Amino acid sequence: MRSFNPGEVFGEIALLDGKERTADARAMTDCDLAVLERRDVMEFLERQPNAWPRLVEVLGGRLRASDLQMAELAMQPLPVRLAKVLLRMAHSETLGRPADKVEVSQRELGNIVGAARENVNKCLSKWQRSGCVRVEGTWITISDRAMLEQTTEQ
């Protein structure tokens, strides 16, 4: 799960290649969206070729983030992957929410870190017993950020 800040875009892959979307989006709060039609964007890019570098920059950033996530999935144990994802999600939460609180289901976390929900639950339960996190439904509060950060360095 990824949070977006005002002005950010999503759905750019399908917009550019005209194929099906690679993911679904779900709003967690009220929001205003602008929907762009592919034909309109392609016409704009033909008229304004100087817009391509910014588009390439956005796509490059997304590709780098995906590469990082794949490397984490392939090379690190579950607690490290899970700690990194929770810290990243807490950092990117929308304005108005505490920086140490994220809303995400354990199934979604499992999908993000490449693990079964049951294994995510075991890890979160262990962390909860140690006082590192507090789990309340789909809300996860990071109680001991230093301990979670230390987990990422293993």
- Give a yes or no: residue 5 inside a domain: no
Element (H, E) at 140: strand 139-142
pLDDT tens digits for range 60-81: 988 898 888 777 667 889 999 9
Clarify whether residues 91 and 41 are in a common domain: no
In this prediction the pTM is: 0.60
Distance between CA 154 and CA 151 in Å, rounded?
6
- Is 98 within a domain? yes
- Determine the structural domain holding residue 142 and report its residue range: 77-152
Same domain, 26 and 60: yes
Specify whether 81 is located in the same domain as 58.
no
DSSP 46-75: HH-GGGHHHHHHHHHHHHHHHHHHHHHHHH
Residues 27-49: pLDDT tens digits? 777 888 888 888 998 999 999 99
**Same domain assignment for residues 90 and 146:** yes
State whether 87 and 65 are in the same domain: no
E-strand stretches of 9-138: 101-103, 133-136
More confident residue, 14 or 52: 52
| The pLDDT of residue 5 | 67
Give CA separation, 22 vs 5, 41, 73, 100, in Å.
Answer: 20, 19, 19, 29
Same domain, 45 and 82: no
- Shared domain check, 83 and 64: no
- What's the pLDDT at 96? 45
